[in-house]
Structure 1
Amino acid sequence: SISRVLSSYEDWHTILDVARDPQVQVFISNTTEVGIALVNEPITGNPPSSFPGKLLAFLYERFKKLGNAIENGTIIIPTELIVDNGKKLQSILNDLAVFNNLEDEFLTWLNTANTFCSSLVDRIVPGKPSAEIKNSIQHKFGYEDELMLMAEVYRLWAIQGDEKVRKVLAFAEADEGVVIEPDIDIYRELKLRMLNGTHTLSCGLAVLAGFETVKDAMSDSNMSEFIASLMLDEIASGIPYHLEPGTASAFGKKVVDRFRNPAIEHKWISITMQYTSKMKMRNVPVLSKYYEDHNTPPQSIALGFAAFVLFMKASKKEGGKFFGELNNKPYPIQDDQAGHLDELWQKHGSKGIVEAVLQDTLLWGTDLSKLPGFSVAVNDHLQALINKGGKQALDQFQQNKVLA
């Protein structure tokens, strides 16, 4: 149960008081991918601006008040969808500790007494249920719940850890969906690439084609076939991890079934949040591996990239927020790179935008325009989306695949 909720912006000193409590053993974070980032800042802020800054300040306060004994350490479990998120967070805390000139004794305690567990959460959680569903559930159970969320039945929380971690995280024994193992890479790769990667490569196209929810899209034969082919034919063969034959296909078929869950109202527009960083993290490694093995443009991925480029075209900016436009109606572009993509659109227009976006190493960490034929494929799909609209371009794409 939840005993209390503290806000770092309103209750920072109270949070630091909690650091002195030896009963506090576990930290779990869910800040999205952009939250696990190094911000060189003093941890004396009230509070520090970044999540790593807040966590380091908390741990340093604990170290100062309780001492450097091993038993005063904690188990830290980030759930952000980043490869080796535990190691990444630990590395950031070390860099930030050095930036703040914290003593060597603290650094030793940080890295020996505290356990940073990489983890992976796999469950589709669309958010709050509709008012109708919420009222029905509250009436059935006889109480109001302002924290009610909708989630699918399937769940997996894979945590990288040893027997020490297993002993502390006793809740794992109560749910078979919680897995604690020394190596969780296979769980991460399958989920990150096939579920999340498919979501990311499909969301822009789905919005442009007029689908509000994943359920709506899966009810359309062409969109459903696009998603299945994207996942099973292209992403599955580009996963940058050794898998036994049939593993990716079997996992992917389960994911397709999960997407078809009629009880889940998962809005595509919410999936577009931080579109660019998700595309880089989830799909660029798959694209690179696909080219290593096939050296030809994957057409479904190319269409997904084209939809991303068009979705990120802003039509207006209000209060520092960007909005695109579809059928004369605005939609939010909730992305830290929205301003940069807007500048590229303004500078290059529809004819040059694909080349400009793909060769932007600041976005992708590599020059995607160098992949043979990829720029041409993405540009062809972009022009089709612009000239025909999302739904007609999608239908034509699927028809061409059938005729090929």
Structure 2
Amino acid sequence: MKLNRNNINTAARPIRVVQFGEGNFLRAFIDWMIQELNEKADFDAGVAVVQPIPQGLGELLNAQDGLYHLYLKGIEKGKLINRHQLVDCIQQVVNPYEDYQGYLELAKVETLQFIFSNTTEAGIRYHEADKLDEVQDSFPAKLTALLYERFRHFGGNISKGLHILPCELIDKNGQILKETILKNIENWQLPKAFQNWIETACTFYNTLVDRIVPGFPKDRIEEIHKELGFEDQLVVEGEQFHLFVIEGDEKIKEVFPAEKIGLNVIVTDNQAPYRTRKVRILNGAHTSLVPIGILSGVETVKEGLDHEQVGAFLKQLIKEEIVPTLPASEGIHEFAEDVLDRFRNPFVKHYLNSISLNSFPKFNTRVLPSISGYFIKEGKFSQRLLVAFAALIKLYDPKNEQGFEPQDDQEVVDLLRSLWENYYATQGNLESVVAGVLAFETVWGANLNNLGNLKAKLTQYLAQIQEEGIGVLLEENLNLV
């Protein structure tokens, strides 16, 4: 039986949330929280999902009327958790690339209160080429257009401002999103009154999100369909653990009462300590594992931990090269051990290919700060983190033996393809490949070629991967086995 609202009885709810992004994480995190609030706190919130890029899951979500099942697995307070639930809070899915006017109509919804988003680290960027009168490429420009339509429709009514909580994993995500919107207002020469409305009526929050979400359980979907009695093509799996840190005014607790039903939501005036250790340890380890693991023939995070060489590499990378670069804080070593336990979760199959989305901007925000921190502290570059960096460059080689196809910003993919094609055409100059990557200021924010002996070390490791394979590098150069 198909999963849709004709075949299952669900409540119709007023749209209180516009959500940019229809991927696994938001559906297993924000939409799950809204579902919990609806069921346990009479929150009565419906979600309108906006597909942020031309290709996405919008059509599939619409085919299921926004319905899907979430499976949560793990260990909670010593007990095995394996539960699933129907999530029915998504009421509408809009693809602005196909229906831009329908997208702008969301601005006129009387009951709208919240904006949530997760467009990856590459999502919150200023695109000067975006225009007001046509579908915009960037997420901040789309949101600017939506907010301007709301401002005009309600005549600048201050009570129609929104709570805006971006979930992209960049530092000060709410602040940066607001600054980017203000740039769009200036570029489009929109009224000063609209800028004032953004400043006074809308509240932007910096956030931190934490839940491992492997996504669609393709290996056992037939078994799940039999268990559910429905054909659900949007089943999503996640771990039981979750954390949502919101930096800002505590008035958010009144309109988003997550704490009242026991959700792990922390409202604070400083989310930096939570963010730094989570991004650098958990996300940094994930992002470092992707190229090392894939080049080693590993498919999932747990397989990486169980792999003799890869597992030893990752553990030492965390304990010896990431943790020492972080400010000393209570519980940081325990947090690192907990991260490794979460990676070992036998109930969650987290594919490295899924984590590999936008690996270069992720590397910039999640791993490069640890590389810099180690250099500042020790006066030299960390070995394992640079091996991960070199492995990432190799992973984007179109001739990689694993058949890996990068899912990244097209500019990144094109640059790496060009560098590698030139390497093969000229019969080998790996230093030029590394130099081209390090000079890519769009990703790094600066040219990294003159940063100590970074270029030389990366070239050395890349050459070893190219000539001998990643396994030899792990074993012989880092003495991990």
Q: What residue in structure 2 maps to residue 331 of structure 1?
A: 404
Alignment equivalent of 2:189, drawn from 92, 101, 105: 101
Cα separation, 1, equivalents of 2:322 and 2:480: 17
The question of whether the paired residues in 2 share the 8 Å contact of 1:210 and 1:390 is answered with: no
1:280 paired with 2:364, answer yes
Segments of 4+ moved more than 6 angstroms: none
The question of whether the paired residues in 2 share the 8 Å contact of 1:127 and 1:149 is answered with: yes
Q: What residue in structure 1 maps to residue 20 of structure 2?
A: none
1:153 paired with 2:240, answer yes
1:211 paired with 2:291, answer no
Alignment equivalent of 1:294, drawn from 378, 387, 391: 378
1:43 paired with 2:123, answer no
Cα separation, 1, equivalents of 2:398 and 2:334: 39
SS at match of 2:208: strand
Query: Any gaps of 5 or more consecutive residues in structure 2?
Result: 1-88
Query: TM-score by structure 1 length?
Result: 0.89
Partner amino acid, structure 2, of 1:296:
K
Q: Judging changes above 3 Å, is the alpha-carbon distance between structure 1 residues 397 and 124 closer, same or farther for their aligned structure 2 residues? A: farther
1:123 paired with 2:211, answer yes
- The percentage of counterpart residues that share the same residue type is 32
More helix by share: 1
Give deviations 1:106-140, integer Å, cap 9, x for gaps. 100111110011111111111101252x3333333
Cα separation, 1, equivalents of 2:454 and 2:480: 18
SS at match of 1:310: helix
Cα separation, 2, equivalents of 1:96 and 1:135: 47
1:185 Cα deviation (Å)?
Answer: 1.2
How do residues 375-390 of structure 1 correspond to structure 2 at under 5 angstroms? 375-390=455-470
The question of whether the paired residues in 1 share the 8 Å contact of 2:430 and 2:462 is answered with: no
The question of whether the paired residues in 2 share the 8 Å contact of 1:209 and 1:394 is answered with: no
Alignment equivalent of 1:26, drawn from 109, 114, 118: 114
Cα separation, 2, equivalents of 1:9 and 1:305: 35
Q: Judging changes above 3 Å, is the alpha-carbon distance between structure 1 residues 66 and 332 closer, same or farther for their aligned structure 2 residues? A: same
The question of whether the paired residues in 1 share the 8 Å contact of 2:435 and 2:455 is answered with: no
Alignment equivalent of 1:340, drawn from 390, 415, 424: 415
Query: TM-score by structure 2 length?
Result: 0.75
Q: Judging changes above 3 Å, is the alpha-carbon distance between structure 1 residues 303 and 115 closer, same or farther for their aligned structure 2 residues? A: same
Give deviations 1:234-279, integer Å, cap 9, x for gaps. 111223xx442x5432211111111111222111122222222111
Q: Judging changes above 3 Å, is the alpha-carbon distance between structure 1 residues 9 and 172 closer, same or farther for their aligned structure 2 residues? A: farther
Q: What residue in structure 1 maps to residue 267 of structure 2?
A: 180
1:13 paired with 2:128, answer no
1:369 Cα deviation (Å)?
Answer: 4.0
1:357 Cα deviation (Å)?
Answer: 4.1
Partner amino acid, structure 1, of 2:131:
P
Q: What residue in structure 2 maps to residue 165 of structure 1?
A: 252
Cα separation, 2, equivalents of 1:276 and 1:139: 39
- Tell which deviates more after alignment, 355-364 or 227-236: 355-364
Q: Judging changes above 3 Å, is the alpha-carbon distance between structure 1 residues 395 and 175 closer, same or farther for their aligned structure 2 residues? A: farther
Provide the aligned length of Structure 1 versus Structure 2. Answer: 385
How do residues 189-204 of structure 1 correspond to structure 2 at under 5 angstroms? 189-204=276-291
Q: Judging changes above 3 Å, is the alpha-carbon distance between structure 1 residues 18 and 374 closer, same or farther for their aligned structure 2 residues? A: closer
Alignment RMSD, CA only? 2.1
Q: What residue in structure 2 maps to residue 370 of structure 1?
A: 450
The question of whether the paired residues in 1 share the 8 Å contact of 2:420 and 2:433 is answered with: no
Cα separation, 1, equivalents of 2:406 and 2:250: 44
Q: What residue in structure 2 maps to residue 138 of structure 1?
A: 225
Cα separation, 1, equivalents of 2:98 and 2:453: 53
1:195 Cα deviation (Å)?
Answer: 1.1
Give deviations 1:22-59, integer Å, cap 9, x for gaps. 210001011111111112222121x2222112211111
1:62 Cα deviation (Å)?
Answer: 0.9
Cα separation, 1, equivalents of 2:237 and 2:477: 33
Q: Judging changes above 3 Å, is the alpha-carbon distance between structure 1 residues 65 and 233 closer, same or farther for their aligned structure 2 residues? A: same
1:286 Cα deviation (Å)?
Answer: 1.8
Give deviations 1:316-367, integer Å, cap 9, x for gaps. xxxxxxxxx21xx522022221211222334453442465146415242334
How do residues 40-119 of structure 1 correspond to structure 2 at under 5 angstroms? 40=128, 41-45=130-134, 47-119=135-207
